[in-house]
Amino acid sequence: MNEDLLLMQFEELAEKLGIEVRYENVTMDEPSGTGGLCRIKEKYVLIIHSRATLKEKIRVMTDAFKHFDLSDRYVRPAIRELLEAQEEDKA
């Protein structure tokens, strides 16, 4: 699947879940730091380095969504496959 489309689908899912997605120029100690999920005043915010590659942005999104129970929500098949593949990799 096209990575641009996949990222857009992740962004749509985030919106449905009430997760704010921010693309910012992140300064981190680790050069490989590309962002992650945090909670600010009872609201989830996903901060992603604006200069991250598409692949890195998708990885950050995938890592963030593993924290949510999506079993009762419609999740596009491509996204569900990525999330399930990540679970299998950890097993």
Provide the total of helices (H) and of strands (E) in the chain, helices listed first: 3, 3
Give 51's DSSP letter.
T
Q: What is the pLDDT of residues 2-34, one digit of tens each?
A: 999 999 999 999 999 999 999 998 765 655 578
Element (H, E) at 60: helix 54-65
Whether 63 has a pLDDT exceeding 80, the answer reads yes
Write down the CATH number for the domain with range 3-90. Answer: 3.30.2010
- The residue-averaged pLDDT of 71-77 equals 91
75-78, long-range: CB within 8 Å, 24+ apart, which pairs?
A: 75/13, 76/9, 76/13, 78/1, 78/6, 78/9
